[in-house]
Structure 1
Amino acid sequence: MTTTAQAIIAKLSEYDFVIAIDTSGSMGEPVKAGSPTTRWQAVQESAMAMIRDAQQIDQDGLGLVLFGSKVESFDGVTADKAREIFATHSPRGTTPLAEALEAAFALAGKSDKKDMIIVFTDGVPNDKAAAAKLIIAQANSQANDDDCTVLFIQVGDDAGATAFLKSLDDDLKGAKFDIVDAKTVEEADAFATTAELVMAAIAD
């Protein structure tokens, strides 16, 4: 392992990880026009890679939140457990992002480590204002900028979702700290490892 890789792993071992995944009905659509792969299939692949990487850093398992027709939370999730959970879910319902963030923030803070919340979503949420308000409240409750970071990864190419996530990243008014980073799947996939992607979100 290179010195740089060791330094990244050492930095990320300071964090607990929570992954939140959109399971709304639109996740059943193709990841892009003409593709045989659905957004749900694509996100499982990306999330599994991320869970496997994060598991090496966060030994006690990760937090996992699924949000669509309902919001479900799981703790202590390993790659094997995540595979079992995904197998029993399919896309349905709307996009209750505010409720999912509430569940993710509840799973975070379980230890004295910092928290990294990674949210995969494909569309505009049911209540944009409520989601923004929760993030602002979280940012304003923190003593330090990096106590909790929220990384949004957009699945699919919905222009409304791109604009909303960009607004959370760049235009969140009233937050003491900028705790949000937003990436498209293509931008996220350009990083060689989850560790590098997460490091970029922390530094952003």
Structure 2
Amino acid sequence: MKTFQKPLNADEEKVFLQKYQEGDPDAKNVLIERNLRLVAHVIKKYQGLEEDPEDLISIGTIGLIKAVTTFDHTKGNRLAAYAARCIDNEILMYLRTRKKTSREVSFYEPIGTDKEGNEIHLLDIIEGDFEDTVERYSFEENVKLLYRLMESELTPQEYQILKMRYGFFGETECTQKVIAGKLGISRSYVSRIEKNAVEKLRRHFQSAGAS
């Protein structure tokens, strides 16, 4: 992560806030640049998410800019306390928006429908429990197909991550964070590989005309 300039002390902050209120555009830039370290500090609480830290820095900087432009220095408070809340709010709004608009690919997404029109999910194939002989045969065939596709269509890394993530082939089911630690890669990279692998399986599974 980039190196940030040293924060302003209380007296320096008062000077630049006053200059900014008087219309000095350079003062605004100084207030922003000298508080960028605060943005980096705030985003530490979001470590472990799949978001790129640089993206969060950019979003947090927007919150910082809003803080500088709306801060009331006449109340005698420090800018940092107000700015930290603005930065945090901006990041939270961004994450909520991302959650609403992102289309997560997972084993819970439908891959088709059964003979009665009910949705079939990849997870159903793994965890299915049928008493009917015909349904059990269909279930077992789907499991065989899924495993064949995993071995034939996935890269070794995709194959390994899905085995660990969903407990296939006797593996212990793991979180993305645990997998990332075992493989020495980032959690966000594990997530991307998992999503790509599941989407690949889903596409081939549909093409194969699974029952």
Q: Max radius of gyration: which structure?
A: 2
- TM-score range for the pair, normalised by the shorter chain length: under 0.3
Which protein, 1 or 2, shows the higher relative CO under an 8 Å CA cutoff with sep ≥ 6?
Answer: 1
Taking structure 1 as the reference length, what is the TM-score of the superposition? 0.24
Taking structure 2 as the reference length, what is the TM-score of the superposition? 0.24
